[in-house]
Structure 1
Amino acid sequence: MSIWYIIVVIVFFASLLVAKNMKKNKKNLPPGPPRLPIIGNLHQLGSKPQRSMLKLSEKYGPLMSLKFGNVSTVVASAPETVKDVLKTFDAECCSRPYLTYPARVSYNQNDLAFSPYSKYWREVRKMTVLELYTAKRVLSFRHIREEEVASLVEFIKESASLGNIVNLSKRLMKLSGSVICRVGFGINLKGSKLEDTYEEVIRDTMEVLGSFAAVDYFPVVGRLIDRVTGLHSKCEKVFKALDAFFEQSIKHHVEDESLKDDIIALLLKMERGEAGLGEFQLTRNHTKGILLNVLIAGVDTSGHTVSWAMTHLITNPRVLKKAQAEVREVIKNKDNITEEDIEQLEYLKMVIKETLRINPLVPLLVPREASKDIKIAGYDIPKKTWIHVNIWGVHRNPNVWNDPEAFIPERFMDNEIDYKGLNFELLPFGSGRRMCPGMGMGMALAHLTLINLLYRFDWKLPDGMEVKDVDLEEAYGLVCPKKTPLQVIPVLTQWS
C-alpha cells in the first residue's frame, strides 16, 4: 500500500470529521442587525439603550442577537421570550457576568443584585428576604413611613400657603431616602454623610450601575476609554461617598448598643460569628455590599414611581380629576390616612400600575449570563452568552398593549394583570429568582404618599407653563428617573 494512498485516506476521514464538527458547532442563533468590525453593535445603543433595543427588535424579532465588542448577547423583548428567560430557563439564566464598575461599587459582587448565582447569593437572598422584606417587617416600619409622609405634607402645606413652586421630584427622593435611612440604617438622612449630596450620589450610582462600560467589552483598551469618558472617575466618586455613609452607619451601630433590630445589627453579628449565613463568614466588604442593595432598592421604587405618577396625572387632567375624586370619596374627612385605606382605592391602584408600565423603574434588567447551552424560541443560546431583558420593550409593545404610548389607567379595569412577577406583560420588578425583594417596602410608601398628595392638595403648573410643556423624557441609568424634575404649585384645599 503506497504512502500516498494512506495520506488520501487520512485526509478523507479528517475532512469528514472537520465537516461533522463544523456542522455540530454551527449554531442557530437569533437574528440580529449587521455588525461593524471590533465594536459590533455598540454604535446602535445610543443614549437610551432600552429605546434603541426596542426599535431594533421591531425589525429583528422578540429575541435578537447583538455583539458588544467581544461579548455575544441576546435581547428578549416580548412576554413569551422574557418568560423563557425568567421562568422556563430561570436556573440556567439567573447568573451574572462580571461587570467592572458594578463590581467596584458592590465590593467585588458581594451584594445581591450583581453577585453571580451561587451558594453565597442564595444565603444572602434568604437572609434579606426573611430579615428585612417580610410582610410582617414591612408592616412594622409603618410608623416610620407615616411620620416621614406627614413631614412631607407639612412642607407642602407651607409652600402652598406661600404660593411657592415645589420641586416635587426632589422632595420625593428626599422622602424615600429618609425612610430607607431610618428603616435600613437606623440613622436619619439629616445629619448623615449623604444629607447634602444624597440625590446626586444616588443618581450617579444608578448611572454607573446601568452603564455600558468599555472595559467590559474591550478588556485591553476599555479602561482607558472609560477614563476619557469620565465613567471611571464617576465610579470612584460614588464609591467613596457610599463607603463613607456605610462606615458612618456601621459606627453608629457599634457605638449605640440599643440598635439591635435592623439589618446592620444582624450583619455585624455575622461578622463577629454570633449569627450565621450558612457556611459563610461575613467580612466588612460583604456587609457593605449587602447594604448597597438595601439603600438603592428602597430609594427609587417609591420616589421615582410617585414622581412619574404625578407627572402623568398633571399631564392628563381627566385622570387626575378621577383619581382625586375617588381618593376624596373614600377618605372623606379623615385627617389620619392609613395604609389600610389603600385597599379601597381601585382606580389609584390602576394609576400606579399604568405608571409602572409606561415608566418601568428598571427598563433593562441587570444583564444575565447563560450558565449552559440552552434553546429559546427555537434558537441556540450558547453558554456564557449575556442576556438582556428589555422590560421597556415589553411594556411599550403594541402587540401586547393597545396604544402603548398613552397613559390610560382604565386598561387595567377588569384585568387581573399585576406587577408582582407572575404576569409577563408587566414586570417592573422582574420575576423569578432575581426579582427585586424590596418591592413590598417601596410600594407601601408609594401608595401612602400618592394618596396624601391627591387627597390634601390640588395642583397647578407654574405661571406660563402648560400641560404640553411638561417634559416626559427619562434620564438613563440602571433606574430611569425623570430627566427634568417635576415643578408644580400645590394649592391648599379643605382637606389640607
Structure 2
Amino acid sequence: MSIINRFLIVEVAVAALLFFVTRLVVRSLLLRLQNRKLPPGPRGWPIIGALPLLGTMPHVALAKLAKKYGSVMYLKMGTCDMVVASTPDAARAFLKTLDINFSNRPPNAGATHLAYNAQDMVFAHYGPRWKLLRKLSNLHMLGGKALEDWAGVREDEVGHMLRAMCETSDRGEDVVVPEMLTYAMANMIGQVILSRRVFATKGSESNEFKDMVVELMTSSGYFNIGDFIPSIAWMDLQGIEKGMKRLHVKFDKLITEMIEQHSATAYRRKGKPDFLDQVMANSEMSDGERLNMTNVKALLLNLFTAGTDTSSSIIEWALAEMMKNPKIFRRAHEEMDRVIGRGRRLKESDIPNLPYLQAISKETMRKHPSTPLNLPRVSSEPCEVNGYYIPRGTRLSVNIWAIGRDPDVWESPLEFKPERFLEDERLSKIDPRGNSFELIPFGAGRRICAGTRMGIVLVEYVLGSLIHSFEWGLPPGTDDLDMNESFGLALQKKVPLTAVLTRRLSPTAYSS
C-alpha cells in the first residue's frame, strides 16, 4: 500500500471520528438547552458507545449496570439510543402505559437475513400485515379454541417421545433431553401446520434441525455492531451476517420443501384444512393487499423455531433444577401419584389439580426465562418515563432475566423454590401471561409473544409427563450438573442436559 493511500485511510478515519464526536456533543447541548434529561447510564466509548460493556452475557452485564444506574437506564449504542427497563414498574411503564409508542421493532440483521426482511410476524411493522398474521395464528393454532382442537396431537407426540426415551434407556444409553424435546415439539407443530409429522423417528435429521434452531436463536440474540452503526454494517465485523445468510438458505430450502409437499397432498385434506390451508385461504389484508409466499414462509419459520426452542429450553432448565434438588422431584411425584396414580400417563385435564407442577413451571420461567432480554422495540415518538426524556427512535430492551432475580420482588431470588408460589398469597396470584410484570417470560403488551398460551400449555403438559413417567438420575461419573447459560434470543443451557431414566409407571402406560 502506497504512502498516499495510507494517508487517505487515516484521513477518512479521523474525519469519521470527528463527525461522530461532533454529533454527540451537539446533540447533548441541544438536550440541555431544551431541559430534557436522559435516563442515567454508563458513558461508553467514542463511536461504539456502550457496546463493549455488554460482553458475552449481555443480560447479566445489563443487570449489573442497572444496580448502579437504576431501573430505567440509557445507553448510547453506536449511533443509536437504547433504554433498558430492569424492574416490574419500569417494564409496566414501557409495555403497558407506552405500549402503542413502543409497538414496532427496530431494524436489525436477524430480521433482514433470517426473517425474510421482516416479512414475518415477529419483526413485522405494526400494521395490517402483522395484524393478519397474528389473527390467523391465534384463530387456527395458538388461541384457546385452536389449542383445544389439537390436544390429541400433543398427546400422541408426547407418547412417541416417551417411547423413544424408553428405547434409548433400554439400550443402556443416556437420554439427551433437548434432542428428545425438539423431536416432539417439531412433530407437534408439523401435525398442526402441515397435517404430518416432520420426523418419523428421532435421529440425525431431528438433531440437525435442533442444531439449526439453536444457531438461529443464538445468532439472532447477538448484539451486532452493524445494527448500531449502520454505516459500517456492510463490513460485517463479527461475521454474524455471513452466518445468518448461510443459515437462511438452509431454512428456506426446508420450508420450501414442506410447502411443496403440502401442496402436492391437498387432495387428502378435503374438508379437513390444516393451519397452512387456512393461511393460504385467508391471506387478504384489510387494505385489500394479500400475504405473499414470502410472508407465509416467514410465518412458518417463526412457528417452527420459536415453537420448538422456547418451550424446550424452559423444560430442560426445569428438569436440571429438579435434578439438583431431588426433594422437588419427590414432592412432584407424591402429588402426581396422589392425583393420577401410576397406572396411566398424565393428561392435560390433570394439570389444574397439580398446583405444585404449575409452581415448578412458574419458578422456571422466573429464574430461566426463555427470552432473557425481551425482543427489542423502538419508540415511534419521543416520550417521558419517570421524569426522563426518551427520544424518538430509541430502542427498548426489557431485562426479563433481571426482573426475575430482583431481590425487591423475590425473596432469595437465586434459589429454585417452587413452593414460593403456593405459600405466599401475593405470589400465588402472579400469572405468566403478561399481566403480572413481576413475571413476564413471554413479554407483555400488544407485541407479547403470540405463542404465550401455547408455550404455557406445552411446558406444563410435557414437563409434567416427563416428571410423572420417570425417575431422573445423573449419568455415571457425573457428580454435578453444569448450570451455566449460553446467551441468545433464547436462553440455552450451555451444556445440554443428559440423564439416566428409570420407568416408574405400569408398562401399559408407555404403550398408549
Alpha-carbon contact 1:110-1:285 (below 8 Å) kept:
yes
SS in 1 for 2:364: helix
* Equivalent residue number for residue 168 of structure 1: 177
Which 10-residue stretch deviates more, 388-397 or 124-133? Answer: 124-133
Is structure 2 residue 246 aligned with structure 1 residue 234?
A: no
Is structure 2 residue 382 aligned with structure 1 residue 373?
A: yes
For 1:263-302, list aligned pairs within 5 A.
Answer: 263-270=275-282, 278-302=287-311
Q: Distance in 2 between matches of 1:162 and 1:473?
A: 29
Q: Distance in 1 between matches of 2:243 and 2:287?
A: 35
Quick one: structure 1 residues 96 and 494, their matched pair in 2 at CA, closer, same or farther if it must change by over 3 Å? closer
Q: Distance in 1 between matches of 2:156 and 2:32?
A: 66
1:131 to 116, 140, 146: 140
2:440 to 427, 441, 444: 427
For 1:53-452, list aligned pairs within 5 A.
Answer: 53-190=62-199, 195=206, 197-226=208-237, 229-257=238-266, 258-259=268-269, 261-270=273-282, 278-413=287-422, 414=425, 415-452=428-465
Q: Distance in 2 between matches of 1:378 and 1:188?
A: 53
Letter in 2 for 1:86: L
- 1:23 CA displacement: 5.4
* Equivalent residue number for residue 453 of structure 1: 466
Alpha-carbon contact 2:139-2:145 (below 8 Å) kept:
no
* Equivalent residue number for residue 476 of structure 2: 463
Over the matched positions of the two proteins, sequence identity in percent amounts to 32
Q: Distance in 1 between matches of 2:173 and 2:396?
A: 47
Letter in 1 for 2:396: I
- 1:146 CA displacement: 0.8
Deviation per CA, 1:203-224, whole angstroms, max 9, x where unpaired? 1111222121121122232332
Letter in 2 for 1:483: K
- 1:314 CA displacement: 0.2
Q: Distance in 2 between matches of 1:455 and 1:254?
A: 40
Alpha-carbon contact 1:165-1:488 (below 8 Å) kept:
yes
For 1:5-16, list aligned pairs within 5 A.
Answer: none
- 1:73 CA displacement: 0.6
SS in 1 for 2:495: coil
Deviation per CA, 1:101-138, whole angstroms, max 9, x where unpaired? 32221111111111122232223222222222121111
Q: Distance in 2 between matches of 1:315 and 1:118?
A: 46
Quick one: structure 1 residues 277 and 481, their matched pair in 2 at CA, closer, same or farther if it must change by over 3 Å? farther
Deviation per CA, 1:47-79, whole angstroms, max 9, x where unpaired? 111110000000000000001111111000100
Letter in 2 for 1:456: S
Scaled by the length of structure 1, what TM-score is found?
Answer: 0.90
Q: Distance in 2 between matches of 1:169 and 1:72?
A: 37
Which 10-residue stretch deviates more, 37-46 or 106-115? Answer: 106-115
Quick one: structure 1 residues 181 and 484, their matched pair in 2 at CA, closer, same or farther if it must change by over 3 Å? same
Letter in 2 for 1:251: E
2:40 to 26, 31, 34: 31
- 1:26 CA displacement: 4.0
Letter in 2 for 1:432: G
Q: Distance in 1 between matches of 2:30 and 2:75?
A: 25
SS in 1 for 2:492: coil
Is structure 2 residue 505 aligned with structure 1 residue 487?
A: no
Deviation per CA, 1:285-308, whole angstroms, max 9, x where unpaired? 111122222212311232112111
Deviation per CA, 1:325-379, whole angstroms, max 9, x where unpaired? 1112111133243210111000010000000000000001111111111111111
Q: Distance in 2 between matches of 1:349 and 1:288?
A: 34
SS in 1 for 2:486: coil
SS in 1 for 2:491: coil
Alpha-carbon contact 2:109-2:241 (below 8 Å) kept:
no
Deviation per CA, 1:66-105, whole angstroms, max 9, x where unpaired? 0111111100010011001110000011111111232221
Alpha-carbon contact 1:160-1:492 (below 8 Å) kept:
no
Quick one: structure 1 residues 266 and 22, their matched pair in 2 at CA, closer, same or farther if it must change by over 3 Å? closer
Alpha-carbon contact 1:207-1:476 (below 8 Å) kept:
yes
Q: Distance in 1 between matches of 2:142 and 2:338?
A: 32
* Equivalent residue number for residue 7 of structure 2: none
SS in 1 for 2:142: coil
* Equivalent residue number for residue 50 of structure 2: 41
Quick one: structure 1 residues 191 and 239, their matched pair in 2 at CA, closer, same or farther if it must change by over 3 Å? farther
Alpha-carbon contact 1:359-1:392 (below 8 Å) kept:
yes
Alpha-carbon contact 2:51-2:78 (below 8 Å) kept:
yes
Quick one: structure 1 residues 343 and 410, their matched pair in 2 at CA, closer, same or farther if it must change by over 3 Å? same
Q: Distance in 2 between matches of 1:208 and 1:462?
A: 31
- Which 5+ residue runs of structure 1 have no aligned equivalent? 1-19
Letter in 1 for 2:253: A
| Aligned-pair Cα RMSD in Å | 2.0
Deviation per CA, 1:21-63, whole angstroms, max 9, x where unpaired? 7655342110001221011000110111111000000000000
Letter in 1 for 2:277: A
- Corresponding pairs, count: 470
Alpha-carbon contact 2:346-2:468 (below 8 Å) kept:
no
Q: Distance in 1 between matches of 2:345 and 2:404?
A: 36
- Which 5+ residue runs of structure 2 have no aligned equivalent? 1-28, 508-512
SS in 1 for 2:255: helix
SS in 2 for 1:488: strand
Deviation per CA, 1:194-243, whole angstroms, max 9, x where unpaired? 645201110111122212112112223233234xx331221012211111
Q: Distance in 2 between matches of 1:125 and 1:49?
A: 29
Which 10-residue stretch deviates more, 416-425 or 431-440? Answer: 431-440
Deviation per CA, 1:359-404, whole angstroms, max 9, x where unpaired? 0000011111111111111111011111111101111111111111
* Equivalent residue number for residue 11 of structure 1: none
